[in-house]
Chains A and B, each alone.
Chain A
Amino acid sequence: MPSNLELSLYVFMLATFVGLEVIRKVSPLLHTPLMSLTNAISAISVVGAILNTGAEGATMLSKVLGFIAITAAVTNIVSGFLITDRMLKMFHKREEKK
Protein backbone atom coordinates (compact mmCIF):
# COMPACT_ATOMS: atom_id res chain seq x y z
CA MET A 1 0.00 0.00 0.00
CA PRO A 2 1.35 3.41 -0.88
CA SER A 3 1.48 5.84 2.02
CA ASN A 4 -0.86 8.83 2.35
CA LEU A 5 1.99 11.10 1.35
CA GLU A 6 2.61 9.20 -1.87
CA LEU A 7 -1.08 9.21 -2.73
CA SER A 8 -1.36 12.91 -2.03
CA LEU A 9 1.68 13.61 -4.19
CA TYR A 10 0.21 11.61 -7.06
CA VAL A 11 -3.07 13.52 -6.73
CA PHE A 12 -1.17 16.80 -6.60
CA MET A 13 0.87 15.97 -9.67
CA LEU A 14 -2.14 14.90 -11.72
CA ALA A 15 -4.30 17.81 -10.57
CA THR A 16 -1.55 20.27 -11.51
CA PHE A 17 -1.35 18.86 -15.03
CA VAL A 18 -5.14 18.87 -15.39
CA GLY A 19 -5.16 22.45 -14.10
CA LEU A 20 -2.47 23.59 -16.54
CA GLU A 21 -4.25 21.97 -19.50
CA VAL A 22 -7.71 23.24 -18.60
CA ILE A 23 -6.62 26.78 -17.74
CA ARG A 24 -4.53 27.16 -20.90
CA LYS A 25 -7.71 26.79 -22.93
CA VAL A 26 -9.54 29.58 -21.09
CA SER A 27 -10.10 32.56 -23.38
CA PRO A 28 -8.12 35.66 -22.33
CA LEU A 29 -11.47 37.45 -22.47
CA LEU A 30 -12.38 35.68 -19.27
CA HIS A 31 -9.15 35.90 -17.30
CA THR A 32 -10.63 38.19 -14.67
CA PRO A 33 -13.68 36.01 -13.93
CA LEU A 34 -11.40 32.96 -14.06
CA MET A 35 -9.33 34.37 -11.27
CA SER A 36 -12.33 35.10 -9.08
CA LEU A 37 -13.70 31.62 -9.78
CA THR A 38 -10.50 29.78 -8.88
CA ASN A 39 -10.35 31.94 -5.80
CA ALA A 40 -13.79 30.86 -4.72
CA ILE A 41 -12.94 27.22 -5.42
CA SER A 42 -9.71 27.29 -3.42
CA ALA A 43 -11.73 28.66 -0.50
CA ILE A 44 -12.74 25.01 -0.12
CA SER A 45 -10.11 25.27 2.62
CA VAL A 46 -13.18 26.11 4.69
CA VAL A 47 -13.52 22.34 5.07
CA GLY A 48 -10.22 22.27 6.93
CA ALA A 49 -11.30 25.18 9.08
CA ILE A 50 -14.58 23.46 9.96
CA LEU A 51 -12.84 20.24 10.97
CA ASN A 52 -10.39 22.22 13.08
CA THR A 53 -12.96 24.36 14.85
CA GLY A 54 -15.47 21.57 15.18
CA ALA A 55 -13.11 19.01 16.70
CA GLU A 56 -14.15 17.62 20.07
CA GLY A 57 -12.25 19.42 22.81
CA ALA A 58 -10.91 22.12 20.49
CA THR A 59 -8.92 24.66 22.47
CA MET A 60 -9.94 28.30 22.65
CA LEU A 61 -7.02 29.13 20.32
CA SER A 62 -8.25 26.58 17.79
CA LYS A 63 -11.77 27.92 17.94
CA VAL A 64 -10.75 31.56 17.54
CA LEU A 65 -8.34 30.87 14.67
CA GLY A 66 -10.90 28.58 13.04
CA PHE A 67 -13.60 31.19 13.45
CA ILE A 68 -11.52 33.79 11.60
CA ALA A 69 -10.55 31.23 8.95
CA ILE A 70 -14.16 30.20 8.31
CA THR A 71 -15.27 33.83 8.09
CA ALA A 72 -12.50 34.66 5.61
CA ALA A 73 -13.09 31.53 3.50
CA VAL A 74 -16.88 31.88 3.40
CA THR A 75 -16.49 35.53 2.40
CA ASN A 76 -14.38 34.31 -0.51
CA ILE A 77 -16.81 31.57 -1.48
CA VAL A 78 -19.88 33.80 -1.44
CA SER A 79 -18.36 36.90 -3.02
CA GLY A 80 -16.22 34.86 -5.41
CA PHE A 81 -19.02 32.85 -7.00
CA LEU A 82 -21.48 35.74 -7.06
CA ILE A 83 -19.11 38.28 -8.58
CA THR A 84 -17.92 35.76 -11.18
CA ASP A 85 -21.51 35.21 -12.24
CA ARG A 86 -22.16 38.96 -12.23
CA MET A 87 -19.19 39.50 -14.55
CA LEU A 88 -20.10 36.64 -16.86
CA LYS A 89 -23.65 37.94 -17.26
CA MET A 90 -22.18 41.03 -18.90
CA PHE A 91 -20.47 39.16 -21.71
CA HIS A 92 -22.61 38.81 -24.79
CA LYS A 93 -22.29 38.82 -28.55
CA ARG A 94 -23.82 41.42 -30.79
CA GLU A 95 -26.62 39.14 -32.10
CA GLU A 96 -27.78 38.43 -28.59
CA LYS A 97 -28.48 42.09 -28.00
CA LYS A 98 -32.11 43.01 -27.53
Chain B
Amino acid sequence: MAHLVNYIYIVSAALFILSLKWMNTPATARRGVFAGEIGMLMAVTGTLLAHHVFNWEWILSAMLIGTAVGIPIAYIMPMTAVPQRTAMSHACGALAAALVGTAEFYRDPNQPKYILVALMIETLLGFLTFTGSLMAMGKLQEVLPQRPITYKNQNVINFTLFAIAAGLGVRLIVVPTDTWIFPVFAGLALLFGVLLIIPIGGADMPTVIALLNSYAGLSACAMGFVLDNKMLVIAGALDGSSGLILSIIMCKAMNRSFANVLFGAFGQIQTKAAHAEQRPVRSASPEEAASILEAASSVIIVPGYGLAVAQAQHKIRELFDALTRRGVDVKFGIHPVAGRMPGHMNVLLAEADIPYDRLFEMDDINGEFGQCDVALVIGDNDVTNPAARTDNTSPIYGMPILDVDKARTVMVIKRSMNPGFAGIDNPLYYLDKTLMLFGDAKAFVSEIIKELPARVAA
Protein backbone atom coordinates (compact mmCIF):
# COMPACT_ATOMS: atom_id res chain seq x y z
CA MET B 1 0.00 0.00 0.00
CA ALA B 2 2.77 2.42 0.91
CA HIS B 3 4.29 1.80 -2.50
CA LEU B 4 1.01 2.16 -4.31
CA VAL B 5 0.54 5.70 -3.04
CA ASN B 6 3.69 6.81 -4.82
CA TYR B 7 2.17 5.72 -8.12
CA ILE B 8 -1.02 7.55 -7.22
CA TYR B 9 1.10 10.66 -6.68
CA ILE B 10 2.55 10.30 -10.18
CA VAL B 11 -0.94 10.17 -11.69
CA SER B 12 -1.99 13.17 -9.60
CA ALA B 13 1.01 15.17 -10.78
CA ALA B 14 0.15 14.33 -14.40
CA LEU B 15 -3.44 15.43 -13.82
CA PHE B 16 -2.23 18.74 -12.41
CA ILE B 17 -0.18 19.41 -15.52
CA LEU B 18 -3.12 18.48 -17.76
CA SER B 19 -5.34 20.69 -15.66
CA LEU B 20 -3.19 23.73 -16.42
CA LYS B 21 -2.78 22.72 -20.05
CA TRP B 22 -6.55 22.66 -20.52
CA MET B 23 -6.77 26.17 -19.15
CA ASN B 24 -5.40 27.50 -22.44
CA THR B 25 -8.83 28.12 -23.95
CA PRO B 26 -12.24 28.71 -22.37
CA ALA B 27 -13.57 25.72 -24.34
CA THR B 28 -11.52 23.17 -22.37
CA ALA B 29 -10.96 25.10 -19.15
CA ARG B 30 -13.69 23.48 -17.11
CA ARG B 31 -12.31 20.07 -17.99
CA GLY B 32 -9.05 21.37 -16.54
CA VAL B 33 -10.69 22.17 -13.22
CA PHE B 34 -12.17 18.68 -13.16
CA ALA B 35 -8.78 17.07 -13.82
CA GLY B 36 -7.31 19.11 -10.98
CA GLU B 37 -10.06 18.03 -8.62
CA ILE B 38 -9.57 14.35 -9.43
CA GLY B 39 -5.82 14.68 -8.97
CA MET B 40 -6.33 16.33 -5.62
CA LEU B 41 -8.88 13.79 -4.44
CA MET B 42 -6.61 10.89 -5.40
CA ALA B 43 -3.58 12.37 -3.71
CA VAL B 44 -5.41 13.19 -0.46
CA THR B 45 -7.29 9.88 -0.13
CA GLY B 46 -4.16 8.00 -1.14
CA THR B 47 -2.20 9.74 1.61
CA LEU B 48 -4.87 9.10 4.22
CA LEU B 49 -5.22 5.40 3.38
CA ALA B 50 -1.70 4.37 2.54
CA HIS B 51 0.22 5.74 5.49
CA HIS B 52 -0.31 4.78 9.07
CA VAL B 53 -2.14 7.91 9.97
CA PHE B 54 -2.86 8.68 13.60
CA ASN B 55 -4.78 11.57 15.19
CA TRP B 56 -7.71 11.19 12.82
CA GLU B 57 -9.87 13.46 14.97
CA TRP B 58 -7.46 16.34 14.38
CA ILE B 59 -7.16 15.76 10.66
CA LEU B 60 -10.82 15.21 9.91
CA SER B 61 -12.07 18.11 12.01
CA ALA B 62 -9.57 20.43 10.29
CA MET B 63 -10.75 19.20 6.90
CA LEU B 64 -14.36 19.72 7.90
CA ILE B 65 -13.70 23.28 9.03
CA GLY B 66 -11.74 24.00 5.86
CA THR B 67 -14.59 22.71 3.71
CA ALA B 68 -17.19 24.60 5.73
CA VAL B 69 -15.23 27.83 5.25
CA GLY B 70 -14.29 27.16 1.63
CA ILE B 71 -17.75 26.49 0.17
CA PRO B 72 -19.36 29.80 1.20
CA ILE B 73 -16.24 31.70 0.10
CA ALA B 74 -16.53 30.18 -3.37
CA TYR B 75 -20.24 30.84 -3.83
CA ILE B 76 -20.97 34.04 -1.91
CA MET B 77 -17.91 36.05 -2.90
CA PRO B 78 -18.93 38.68 -5.47
CA MET B 79 -16.81 38.74 -8.61
CA THR B 80 -15.64 42.27 -7.83
CA ALA B 81 -14.04 40.85 -4.66
CA VAL B 82 -12.07 38.17 -6.47
CA PRO B 83 -8.71 39.98 -6.07
CA GLN B 84 -9.18 40.03 -2.29
CA ARG B 85 -10.10 36.36 -2.25
CA THR B 86 -7.05 35.53 -4.30
CA ALA B 87 -4.81 37.44 -1.90
CA MET B 88 -6.45 35.58 0.97
CA SER B 89 -5.84 32.21 -0.61
CA HIS B 90 -2.17 33.11 -1.18
CA ALA B 91 -2.07 33.89 2.55
CA CYS B 92 -3.70 30.55 3.47
CA GLY B 93 -1.44 28.52 1.18
CA ALA B 94 1.70 30.23 2.43
CA LEU B 95 0.62 29.83 6.05
CA ALA B 96 0.03 26.11 5.58
CA ALA B 97 3.50 25.65 4.07
CA ALA B 98 5.15 27.74 6.77
CA LEU B 99 3.44 25.87 9.62
CA VAL B 100 4.24 22.44 8.21
CA GLY B 101 7.86 23.58 7.95
CA THR B 102 7.79 24.82 11.52
CA ALA B 103 6.33 21.56 12.82
CA GLU B 104 8.88 19.60 10.83
CA PHE B 105 11.74 21.64 12.27
CA TYR B 106 10.65 21.08 15.87
CA ARG B 107 9.97 17.40 15.21
CA ASP B 108 13.61 16.84 14.40
CA PRO B 109 16.07 19.71 13.96
CA ASN B 110 18.94 17.32 13.26
CA GLN B 111 18.23 16.59 9.62
CA PRO B 112 20.60 16.51 6.66
CA LYS B 113 21.80 20.00 5.75
CA TYR B 114 20.07 20.15 2.39
CA ILE B 115 16.74 19.43 4.07
CA LEU B 116 17.37 22.24 6.53
CA VAL B 117 18.19 24.59 3.66
CA ALA B 118 14.87 23.71 1.97
CA LEU B 119 13.10 24.01 5.30
CA MET B 120 14.42 27.52 5.92
CA ILE B 121 13.44 28.60 2.40
CA GLU B 122 9.99 27.09 2.92
CA THR B 123 9.37 28.85 6.23
CA LEU B 124 10.97 32.16 5.25
CA LEU B 125 8.93 32.42 2.02
CA GLY B 126 5.84 31.02 3.71
CA PHE B 127 5.77 33.46 6.60
CA LEU B 128 6.61 36.55 4.55
CA THR B 129 4.04 35.63 1.91
CA PHE B 130 1.46 35.07 4.63
CA THR B 131 1.66 38.57 6.10
CA GLY B 132 2.42 40.15 2.73
CA SER B 133 -0.74 38.65 1.24
CA LEU B 134 -2.76 39.78 4.24
CA MET B 135 -1.53 43.33 3.64
CA ALA B 136 -2.40 43.06 -0.06
CA MET B 137 -5.83 41.78 0.92
CA GLY B 138 -6.29 44.69 3.34
CA LYS B 139 -5.39 47.16 0.61
CA LEU B 140 -7.72 45.53 -1.91
CA GLN B 141 -10.57 45.44 0.59
CA GLU B 142 -9.72 49.07 1.38
CA VAL B 143 -9.33 48.30 5.08
CA LEU B 144 -5.80 49.65 4.66
CA PRO B 145 -5.00 52.76 2.65
CA GLN B 146 -4.39 51.93 -1.01
CA ARG B 147 -1.78 54.63 -1.40
CA PRO B 148 1.80 53.57 -0.73
CA ILE B 149 2.89 53.95 2.89
CA THR B 150 6.44 55.17 2.86
CA TYR B 151 8.97 56.40 5.39
CA LYS B 152 12.58 57.44 5.39
CA ASN B 153 15.20 54.84 4.49
CA GLN B 154 12.45 52.32 3.84
CA ASN B 155 14.47 50.17 1.49
CA VAL B 156 17.53 50.20 3.74
CA ILE B 157 15.44 49.13 6.72
CA ASN B 158 13.66 46.42 4.74
CA PHE B 159 16.87 45.03 3.26
CA THR B 160 18.55 45.00 6.66
CA LEU B 161 15.61 43.18 8.17
CA PHE B 162 15.62 40.61 5.41
CA ALA B 163 19.38 40.15 5.72
CA ILE B 164 19.04 39.52 9.47
CA ALA B 165 16.25 37.00 8.89
CA ALA B 166 18.28 35.21 6.20
CA GLY B 167 21.35 35.29 8.46
CA LEU B 168 19.41 33.66 11.29
CA GLY B 169 18.19 31.06 8.81
CA VAL B 170 21.78 30.24 7.87
CA ARG B 171 22.72 30.09 11.53
CA LEU B 172 19.87 27.61 12.14
CA ILE B 173 21.12 25.47 9.29
CA VAL B 174 24.63 25.40 10.75
CA VAL B 175 23.59 24.94 14.39
CA PRO B 176 20.05 23.53 14.23
CA THR B 177 19.97 22.69 17.93
CA ASP B 178 19.64 26.38 18.82
CA THR B 179 15.90 26.06 18.37
CA TRP B 180 15.24 29.29 20.28
CA ILE B 181 16.42 31.21 17.23
CA PHE B 182 13.58 29.83 15.14
CA PRO B 183 10.77 31.99 16.60
CA VAL B 184 12.91 35.11 16.06
CA PHE B 185 13.55 34.02 12.48
CA ALA B 186 9.83 33.41 11.89
CA GLY B 187 8.89 36.72 13.51
CA LEU B 188 11.30 38.66 11.29
CA ALA B 189 9.93 36.93 8.20
CA LEU B 190 6.39 37.86 9.23
CA LEU B 191 7.43 41.47 9.83
CA PHE B 192 9.30 41.65 6.53
CA GLY B 193 6.17 40.51 4.67
CA VAL B 194 4.25 43.46 6.12
CA LEU B 195 6.97 45.98 5.33
CA LEU B 196 7.44 44.64 1.81
CA ILE B 197 3.83 45.24 0.78
CA ILE B 198 2.77 48.45 2.58
CA PRO B 199 4.80 50.75 0.28
CA ILE B 200 3.08 49.31 -2.81
CA GLY B 201 0.15 51.22 -4.26
CA GLY B 202 -3.21 49.89 -5.41
CA ALA B 203 -2.43 50.23 -9.11
CA ASP B 204 0.54 47.86 -8.75
CA MET B 205 -1.56 45.14 -7.15
CA PRO B 206 -1.77 42.95 -10.29
CA THR B 207 2.00 42.46 -10.23
CA VAL B 208 2.15 42.01 -6.48
CA ILE B 209 -0.64 39.44 -6.42
CA ALA B 210 1.12 37.48 -9.15
CA LEU B 211 4.43 37.67 -7.32
CA LEU B 212 2.91 36.50 -4.03
CA ASN B 213 1.34 33.65 -6.00
CA SER B 214 4.80 32.67 -7.12
CA TYR B 215 6.24 32.81 -3.59
CA ALA B 216 3.41 30.72 -2.16
CA GLY B 217 4.06 28.12 -4.86
CA LEU B 218 7.80 28.07 -4.24
CA SER B 219 7.18 27.64 -0.54
CA ALA B 220 5.03 24.57 -1.22
CA CYS B 221 7.73 23.36 -3.60
CA ALA B 222 10.40 23.66 -0.90
CA MET B 223 8.14 21.57 1.32
CA GLY B 224 8.37 18.86 -1.32
CA PHE B 225 12.15 18.87 -0.88
CA VAL B 226 11.81 18.71 2.91
CA LEU B 227 9.38 15.80 2.89
CA ASP B 228 10.98 14.19 -0.17
CA ASN B 229 7.67 14.21 -2.01
CA LYS B 230 8.10 14.74 -5.77
CA MET B 231 4.43 15.48 -6.34
CA LEU B 232 4.64 18.44 -3.97
CA VAL B 233 7.74 19.62 -5.84
CA ILE B 234 5.84 19.47 -9.14
CA ALA B 235 2.65 21.16 -7.87
CA GLY B 236 4.69 23.88 -6.18
CA ALA B 237 6.86 24.43 -9.25
CA LEU B 238 3.76 24.76 -11.45
CA ASP B 239 2.28 27.35 -9.11
CA GLY B 240 5.60 29.13 -8.82
CA SER B 241 6.15 29.34 -12.56
CA SER B 242 2.56 30.44 -13.15
CA GLY B 243 2.95 33.32 -10.71
CA LEU B 244 6.30 34.20 -12.27
CA ILE B 245 4.90 34.37 -15.81
CA LEU B 246 1.93 36.45 -14.73
CA SER B 247 4.12 38.92 -12.89
CA ILE B 248 6.42 39.23 -15.90
CA ILE B 249 3.40 39.94 -18.13
CA MET B 250 2.19 42.56 -15.66
CA CYS B 251 5.59 44.21 -15.42
CA LYS B 252 5.92 44.35 -19.19
CA ALA B 253 2.46 45.86 -19.48
CA MET B 254 3.61 48.66 -17.21
CA ASN B 255 7.08 48.92 -18.72
CA ARG B 256 8.63 48.46 -15.30
CA SER B 257 11.01 46.05 -13.63
CA PHE B 258 10.30 43.85 -10.62
CA ALA B 259 12.66 45.92 -8.54
CA ASN B 260 10.83 49.08 -9.52
CA VAL B 261 7.44 47.67 -8.54
CA LEU B 262 8.67 46.30 -5.24
CA PHE B 263 10.94 49.10 -4.15
CA GLY B 264 9.87 52.07 -6.25
CA ALA B 265 6.80 53.23 -4.26
CA PHE B 266 5.20 54.28 -7.55
CA GLY B 267 2.38 56.56 -6.44
CA GLN B 268 4.60 58.54 -4.11
CA ILE B 269 7.01 59.77 -6.75
CA GLN B 270 4.26 60.86 -9.02
CA THR B 271 2.29 63.12 -6.75
CA LYS B 272 4.72 65.81 -7.86
CA ALA B 273 3.24 65.69 -11.32
CA ALA B 274 -0.29 66.02 -10.00
CA HIS B 275 -0.55 69.78 -9.90
CA ALA B 276 -1.10 70.49 -13.55
CA GLU B 277 -2.70 73.74 -14.60
CA GLN B 278 -6.45 73.75 -15.07
CA ARG B 279 -7.25 73.51 -18.74
CA PRO B 280 -10.68 73.62 -20.33
CA VAL B 281 -12.36 70.32 -21.16
CA ARG B 282 -15.52 69.55 -23.12
CA SER B 283 -18.19 67.76 -21.20
CA ALA B 284 -21.38 66.15 -22.45
CA SER B 285 -24.76 65.07 -21.07
CA PRO B 286 -26.10 61.50 -21.24
CA GLU B 287 -28.39 62.60 -24.08
CA GLU B 288 -25.53 63.87 -26.19
CA ALA B 289 -23.50 60.77 -25.42
CA ALA B 290 -26.43 58.54 -26.41
CA SER B 291 -26.91 60.27 -29.74
CA ILE B 292 -23.21 60.00 -30.59
CA LEU B 293 -23.13 56.32 -29.65
CA GLU B 294 -26.23 55.63 -31.67
CA ALA B 295 -24.83 57.31 -34.75
CA ALA B 296 -21.59 55.35 -34.49
CA SER B 297 -21.00 52.21 -36.48
CA SER B 298 -18.18 50.91 -34.29
CA VAL B 299 -17.55 51.46 -30.58
CA ILE B 300 -14.70 50.20 -28.44
CA ILE B 301 -15.34 50.17 -24.71
CA VAL B 302 -12.26 50.38 -22.49
CA PRO B 303 -13.05 49.24 -18.94
CA GLY B 304 -10.87 49.79 -15.88
CA TYR B 305 -10.83 49.45 -12.12
CA GLY B 306 -13.46 52.21 -11.82
CA LEU B 307 -15.92 49.85 -13.44
CA ALA B 308 -15.35 47.31 -10.67
CA VAL B 309 -15.67 49.98 -7.99
CA ALA B 310 -18.95 51.26 -9.44
CA GLN B 311 -20.18 47.65 -9.99
CA ALA B 312 -21.19 48.86 -13.44
CA GLN B 313 -20.59 45.61 -15.37
CA HIS B 314 -24.27 44.70 -15.70
CA LYS B 315 -25.18 48.20 -16.92
CA ILE B 316 -22.38 47.97 -19.48
CA ARG B 317 -23.92 44.74 -20.67
CA GLU B 318 -27.27 46.52 -21.18
CA LEU B 319 -25.50 49.23 -23.13
CA PHE B 320 -23.70 46.56 -25.14
CA ASP B 321 -27.01 44.85 -25.96
CA ALA B 322 -28.80 48.09 -26.78
CA LEU B 323 -26.07 49.21 -29.16
CA THR B 324 -25.62 45.78 -30.73
CA ARG B 325 -29.36 45.66 -31.46
CA ARG B 326 -28.98 48.94 -33.32
CA GLY B 327 -26.31 47.38 -35.49
CA VAL B 328 -23.38 49.07 -33.78
CA ASP B 329 -20.23 46.93 -33.66
CA VAL B 330 -19.20 46.94 -29.98
CA LYS B 331 -15.88 45.58 -28.80
CA PHE B 332 -14.00 45.71 -25.54
CA GLY B 333 -10.33 46.65 -25.32
CA ILE B 334 -8.67 45.31 -22.21
CA HIS B 335 -5.27 46.36 -20.93
CA PRO B 336 -3.31 43.63 -19.10
CA VAL B 337 -3.12 45.68 -15.90
CA ALA B 338 -6.69 47.03 -15.96
CA GLY B 339 -8.20 46.20 -12.59
CA ARG B 340 -6.52 44.83 -9.54
CA MET B 341 -5.33 41.41 -10.69
CA PRO B 342 -4.44 39.71 -13.97
CA GLY B 343 -7.60 39.06 -15.98
CA HIS B 344 -9.84 40.93 -13.52
CA MET B 345 -11.84 42.81 -16.19
CA ASN B 346 -12.46 39.69 -18.28
CA VAL B 347 -14.06 37.94 -15.33
CA LEU B 348 -16.28 40.91 -14.51
CA LEU B 349 -17.48 41.28 -18.09
CA ALA B 350 -18.02 37.54 -18.41
CA GLU B 351 -20.06 37.67 -15.22
CA ALA B 352 -22.28 40.26 -16.88
CA ASP B 353 -22.80 37.78 -19.72
CA ILE B 354 -20.76 39.59 -22.34
CA PRO B 355 -19.50 37.01 -24.86
CA TYR B 356 -15.76 36.52 -24.53
CA ASP B 357 -15.20 36.75 -28.28
CA ARG B 358 -15.97 40.48 -27.89
CA LEU B 359 -13.13 40.96 -25.38
CA PHE B 360 -9.82 41.87 -27.00
CA GLU B 361 -6.32 42.15 -25.66
CA MET B 362 -4.34 45.32 -26.06
CA ASP B 363 -2.19 44.15 -28.97
CA ASP B 364 -5.17 42.83 -30.89
CA ILE B 365 -7.35 45.91 -30.54
CA ASN B 366 -4.83 48.74 -30.79
CA GLY B 367 -4.81 48.70 -34.58
CA GLU B 368 -8.58 49.20 -34.63
CA PHE B 369 -8.88 52.46 -32.74
CA GLY B 370 -7.98 54.37 -35.91
CA GLN B 371 -11.09 53.10 -37.70
CA CYS B 372 -13.37 53.28 -34.71
CA ASP B 373 -16.02 55.98 -34.26
CA VAL B 374 -16.19 56.10 -30.49
CA ALA B 375 -13.85 54.91 -27.78
CA LEU B 376 -15.70 54.84 -24.47
CA VAL B 377 -13.36 54.81 -21.48
CA ILE B 378 -14.94 53.72 -18.22
CA GLY B 379 -13.00 54.00 -15.00
CA ASP B 380 -9.59 53.77 -16.60
CA ASN B 381 -6.88 56.36 -16.57
CA ASP B 382 -3.18 55.68 -16.88
CA VAL B 383 -3.53 52.86 -19.41
CA THR B 384 -5.14 55.29 -21.86
CA ASN B 385 -2.72 58.17 -21.26
CA PRO B 386 -1.10 59.23 -24.55
CA ALA B 387 1.70 60.85 -22.55
CA ALA B 388 3.12 57.32 -22.27
CA ARG B 389 3.83 57.52 -26.00
CA THR B 390 4.78 61.13 -26.45
CA ASP B 391 6.05 62.77 -23.28
CA ASN B 392 9.39 61.41 -22.19
CA THR B 393 9.25 63.35 -18.93
CA SER B 394 6.10 61.52 -17.87
CA PRO B 395 6.56 58.90 -15.15
CA ILE B 396 4.70 56.39 -17.28
CA TYR B 397 6.64 57.14 -20.48
CA GLY B 398 7.18 53.94 -22.45
CA MET B 399 4.31 52.04 -20.89
CA PRO B 400 2.22 50.29 -23.56
CA ILE B 401 -1.22 51.90 -23.66
CA LEU B 402 -4.52 51.48 -25.43
CA ASP B 403 -4.50 54.02 -28.27
CA VAL B 404 -7.96 55.42 -27.53
CA ASP B 405 -6.85 58.88 -28.66
CA LYS B 406 -6.82 57.59 -32.24
CA ALA B 407 -10.57 57.04 -32.28
CA ARG B 408 -12.76 59.68 -33.97
CA THR B 409 -14.48 60.55 -30.72
CA VAL B 410 -13.33 59.69 -27.23
CA MET B 411 -15.73 59.61 -24.32
CA VAL B 412 -14.47 59.29 -20.79
CA ILE B 413 -16.76 58.51 -17.88
CA LYS B 414 -15.13 59.88 -14.78
CA ARG B 415 -16.26 61.20 -11.41
CA SER B 416 -14.35 64.46 -11.60
CA MET B 417 -11.20 65.96 -13.04
CA ASN B 418 -9.15 64.75 -10.07
CA PRO B 419 -6.13 62.89 -11.37
CA GLY B 420 -6.35 59.14 -10.93
CA PHE B 421 -4.69 56.96 -8.39
CA ALA B 422 -1.16 57.50 -9.61
CA GLY B 423 -1.76 61.24 -9.78
CA ILE B 424 -0.66 61.68 -13.39
CA ASP B 425 -2.47 64.23 -15.49
CA ASN B 426 -3.96 62.72 -18.64
CA PRO B 427 -3.67 64.90 -21.80
CA LEU B 428 -6.35 62.72 -23.38
CA TYR B 429 -9.00 64.68 -21.46
CA TYR B 430 -8.06 67.99 -23.10
CA LEU B 431 -8.23 66.84 -26.71
CA ASP B 432 -10.82 68.50 -28.93
CA LYS B 433 -12.36 65.17 -29.76
CA THR B 434 -12.70 64.12 -26.15
CA LEU B 435 -15.98 64.43 -24.30
CA MET B 436 -15.91 64.10 -20.54
CA LEU B 437 -18.95 62.42 -19.06
CA PHE B 438 -18.90 63.39 -15.40
CA GLY B 439 -20.62 61.10 -12.96
CA ASP B 440 -20.75 57.67 -11.41
CA ALA B 441 -20.07 55.03 -14.07
CA LYS B 442 -23.13 52.94 -13.26
CA ALA B 443 -25.52 55.88 -13.02
CA PHE B 444 -24.19 57.53 -16.17
CA VAL B 445 -24.43 54.38 -18.27
CA SER B 446 -28.03 53.87 -17.09
CA GLU B 447 -28.82 57.43 -18.18
CA ILE B 448 -27.36 56.73 -21.61
CA ILE B 449 -29.41 53.54 -21.96
CA LYS B 450 -32.57 55.43 -20.99
CA GLU B 451 -31.92 57.94 -23.76
CA LEU B 452 -31.40 55.29 -26.42
CA PRO B 453 -34.96 53.85 -26.88
CA ALA B 454 -36.47 57.34 -26.69
CA ARG B 455 -34.54 58.25 -29.79
CA VAL B 456 -35.78 55.26 -31.73
CA ALA B 457 -39.39 56.17 -30.94
CA ALA B 458 -38.85 59.74 -32.09
Report B72 CB to chain A, min CB distance, Å: 8
Known: A52-B103, A61-B106. A35 touches B19 (CB 8 A): no
Nearest B residue (CB) for A19: B241
Best-buried of B48, B62, B69, B343 by chain A (most CB within 10 Å) = B62
Residues of A within 8 A of B236 (CB): 42, 45
B69 touches A23 (CB 8 A): no
Nearest A residue (CB) for B213: A35
B343 touches A30 (CB 8 A): yes
B93 touches A67 (CB 8 A): no
User: CB-CB contacts of A4-20 with B at 8 A, as 1s and 0s?
Assistant: 11011001100110111
Residues of A within 8 A of B103 (CB): 52-53, 61-62, 65-66, 69
CA distance A36 to B243 in the complex (A): 11
The interface stretch among B28-36, B400-408, B428-436, B450-458 is B28-36
B73 touches A33 (CB 8 A): no
Nearest A residue (CB) for B40: A77
A32 touches B343 (CB 8 A): yes
A44 touches B43 (CB 8 A): yes
Residues of B within 8 A of A47 (CB): 43-44, 47, 229, 231-232
B70 touches A76 (CB 8 A): yes
Q: Report B240-273 residues with CB < 8 Å from chain A CB.
A: 240-246, 249
A66 touches B20 (CB 8 A): no
B100 touches A52 (CB 8 A): yes
Nearest A residue (CB) for B39: A41
B336 within 8 A of A: yes
Residues of A within 8 A of B53 (CB): 50-51, 54
CA distance A66 to B57 in the complex (A): 12
B134 within 8 A of A: no
A50 touches B59 (CB 8 A): yes
A48 touches B356 (CB 8 A): no
Nearest B residue (CB) for A66: B103
CB < 8 Å: which of A22, A44, A58, A74 contacts B62? A74
Q: Report A48-84 residues with CB < 8 Å from chain B CB.
A: 48-59, 61-63, 65-84
B74 touches A78 (CB 8 A): yes
B227 touches A33 (CB 8 A): no
B97 within 8 A of A: yes
B63 within 8 A of A: yes
CA distance A20 to B37 in the complex (A): 21
Residues of A within 8 A of B235 (CB): 41-42, 44-45
Known: A12-B237, A35-B342, A61-B106. A24 touches B245 (CB 8 A): yes
Residues of B within 8 A of A54 (CB): 51-56, 58-59
Residues of B within 8 A of A96 (CB): 355
B278 within 8 A of A: no
Best-buried of A35, A52, A54, A77 by chain B (most CB within 10 Å) = A35
CA distance A73 to B77 in the complex (A): 18
Nearest A residue (CB) for B98: A69
CB < 8 Å: which of A22, A55, A89, A97 contacts B21? A22
A2 within 8 A of B: no
B74 touches A86 (CB 8 A): yes
Known: A18-B17, A28-B346. A82 touches B71 (CB 8 A): yes
Residues of B within 8 A of A63 (CB): 55, 58
Nearest B residue (CB) for A57: B54
CA distance A38 to B237 in the complex (A): 10
User: CB-CB contacts of B68-94 with A at 8 A, as 1s and 0s?
Assistant: 011101110101001001100110110
Residues of A within 8 A of B71 (CB): 78-79, 82
User: CB-CB contacts of B337-348 with A at 8 A, as 1s and 0s?
Assistant: 000011110110
A90 within 8 A of B: yes
CA distance A68 to B59 in the complex (A): 10
CA distance A18 to B233 in the complex (A): 13
Q: Report B328-379 residues with CB < 8 Å from chain A CB.
A: 334, 336, 341-344, 346-347, 350-351, 353, 355-359, 361
Residues of A within 8 A of B341 (CB): 31-32, 35
Shortest Cβ-Cβ A-B pairs, 10 listed: A74-B66, A78-B70, A31-B343, A19-B241, A82-B74, A54-B53, A42-B239, A32-B343, A70-B62, A31-B342
CB-defined A-B contacts under 8 Å, sample of 10: A7-B230, A18-B238, A23-B246, A27-B26, A28-B343, A41-B20, A41-B40, A42-B217, A54-B54, A75-B69
Extra inter-chain contacts (19) besides given A42-B217, A51-B47, A81-B33, CB under 8 Å: A8-B233, A32-B342, A37-B36, A38-B217, A43-B40, A43-B93, A44-B220, A44-B231, A45-B93, A54-B55, A61-B103, A63-B58, A66-B99, A68-B62, A70-B58, A73-B92, A75-B70, A79-B71, A90-B353
